[in-house]
Amino acid sequence: MPQHKLWYLHFMTTSKEKTWVYIDSFNLYYGALNRKGPKTLGLKWLDLESWLTKVFPMNDIQKIKLFTARVSGKFDPTKPVRQDTYFRALRTLKTVEIIEGTFSFRKKRIHITQDVDLYAMIPEEKGTDVNLATHLVNDAYKKCFQTAIIVSNDSDLAGAVKIVTQEVILKVGIFNPYPSFAKELTRYCTFQGPVREWAIRNSQFPRVLTDSVGQFNKPPSW
C-alpha cells in the first residue's frame, strides 16, 4: 500500500487512542529544522505539543519524550546557550520529557586526493537511539500507550519497532523528517508519514516565554 494511504488509513481508524511520542532530536533537527536553504529559517523554535496535536488530531498525545544530547561549544560557544534556551522553552510544556545522552568528537580521516588526506574532528551523539529504543520497548510492555509515534528515520530502531508491533501487539507509527524512508523501519511499523514544513512553521513558540524563573526570548538567529 502507498505510504500516503497508510497515513490516512491511520487517521480513519484511530479514535483518540492513548499516544506517546518518541523524538530523535538530532534526526528531527538535521532532517527537517536545519536543512540548507531559506525555507528552513524560523523553524527551530518548535513547540512540540502544538506541532504534534496539529498533525495527529485524532490521537490523545499524553507524553512526548525527546531524546537528545548536550551540544559542544568547542567551535561555536553560542550553541549550548541556544540549546539551553530551547530546553527551557520545552520545559514549559507539561507533556514533554527530555532524556539526554552524550555528545563527543571522533577523529576521522578524509581522503581528498591521491596524495592528500585530512583529519577532522566529527561530532557524534551517543546513546540517543539506544535510549529511545529502550524507552519504547519498556513503555510498551508496561502498556503506557495504545499507539507510539517515532519521529526518526534511524534504521537502528527497527528491532525495537518489531518487538512492539509483533510481540507486544501495539501500534507504532514512523514520522519521518527525511525525504525517503528507511526500509527496515517501514517493514515493521503500523503506519508511516512524512514531516511537513507547514505544520512546523505554524507550531512555533511565541518569541517571548515565561517560566518560574522569569521571561526569556527566542534565540535571535532562530
Confirm or reject CATH 3.40.50.1010 for domain 3-206, answering yes or no: yes
pLDDT for res 1: 45
Instruction: Report the alpha-carbon distance of residue 182 to residue 163 in Å, rounded.
Output: 17
Instruction: Report the alpha-carbon distance of residue 24 to residue 125 in Å, rounded.
Output: 11
Q: Which of 28, 24, 68 is nearest to 178 (CA)?
A: 28
**Every domain of the chain and the residues it spans:** 3-206
Q: Which of 148, 193, 192 is nearest to 169 (CA)?
A: 148
pLDDT for res 2: 46
Instruction: Report the alpha-carbon distance of residue 148 to residue 64 in Å, rounded.
Output: 10
Give me the residue label for grid cell 580521516: 109
pLDDT digit string, tens, across residues 9-45: 454 444 689 999 999 999 999 999 987 665 667 899 9
Task: Output 72 or 174, whichever has higher pLDDT.
Answer: 174
Kindly give, in sequence order, each residue whose CB lies less than 8 Å from that of residue 156, ignoring residues fewer than 6 positions away.
129, 133
* Cβ atoms 89, 205 nearer than 8 A: yes
Q: CA separation (Å) from 135 to 20, 37, 99?
A: 11, 34, 10
Q: What are phi and psi of 113, to 5 degrees?
A: -135, -175
Whether 176 shows a pLDDT value over 80: the answer reads yes
pLDDT digit string, tens, across residues 187-220: 999 999 999 999 999 999 999 999 999 999 999 9
